[in-house]
Amino acid sequence: MKLGILNADQVKPEFAKKFGEYPDMFAEIFRAVDSDVTTVTYEVVSGQYPADIDEVDGYIITGSKLSVYDDVPWVHELKSFVKQLHERKKKLIGICFGHQMVAEALGGKVEQADVGWCVGVYSNQLNKDAESYGLEGGAMLLRSNHKDQVTELPEGAIVLAGNDSCPIASIGLADHILTFQGHPEFSEGYARALLNMRREIFGEELFHTAIDSLGIEPDNHQIASCILDFVSR
């Protein structure tokens, strides 16, 4: 399987030395599940896209420091590409910003959450439709770090999982789109580094709650396996 990673951000240099860039994180978690998986990166911030949509089996949109409603040329260009992928029914996975990008591009709505930042490990309750997308077990645990969230679904999309702080934490659309607000690619070390970097932004109470939650083992490998199974269908 060959996956195209639509990279929408760069890791801070001091973190990249230790944890890699976002495409590296995805490649690592997928190869831990299936050593035959290969990835190719498209730097969408620089306007890099595939010459042929079908040169990979499916696409993954990464997280980003920007918001999907930012009036920035590359954000608009990525929205257009998402629409193309949807029209072609190409397999598409969205993670965090990518989850929000898919929703916004296809007619949903994304905005800053009333609850503020959602950081740390969250348990997301799976809905009845989740099993048809390969999500099992009643709940999924993922590391999160976001302030924006999807508040309205695009036409035809269904909620697969959510929690009180983020009711739309995973979306499925037809048989070619699957998205997650959480980060299956984040290691504990990288999640901790991000929390420490933004400690003053979060405030002490939220920071310590999030740090304490990192002791909970998330379902990274299970979600990575689910994504690969979904793309291979």
State the pLDDT confidence band at 14, using cuts at 50, 70 and 90.
very high
Question: Is 55 one of the annotated active-site residues of the chain?
Answer: no
The one catalytic residue among 86, 96, 104, 166: 96
Q: What number does CATH give the domain 2-232? A: 3.40.50.880
Question: Is 96 one of the annotated active-site residues of the chain?
Answer: yes
Q: Which H, E and C letters describe the chain, residue by residue?
A: CEEEEEECCCCCHHHHHHHCCHHHHHHHHHHHHCCCCEEEEEEHHHCCCCCCHHHCCEEEECCCCCCCCCCCHHHHHHHHHHHHHHHCCCEEEEECHHHHHHHHHCCCEEEECCCCCEEEEEEEEECCCHHHHCCCCCEEEEEEEECEEEEECCCCEEEEEECCCCCCCEEEECCCEEEECCECCCCHHHHHHHHHHCHHHHCHHHHHHHHHHCCCCCCHHHHHHHHHHHHHC
Where do the structural domains in the chain lie, given as residue ranges? 2-232
Question: Is 183 one of the annotated active-site residues of the chain?
Answer: yes
Query: What pLDDT was estimated at residue 84?
Result: 99
Query: What pLDDT was estimated at residue 180?
Result: 99
The one catalytic residue among 86, 118, 176, 185: 185
How do residues 157-196 score in pLDDT, each as one tens digit?
A: 999 999 999 999 999 999 999 999 999 999 999 999 999 9
The one catalytic residue among 86, 146, 176, 183: 183
How do residues 30-76 score in pLDDT, each as one tens digit?
A: 999 999 999 999 999 999 999 999 999 999 999 999 999 999 999 99
State the pLDDT confidence band at 107, using cuts at 50, 70 and 90.
very high
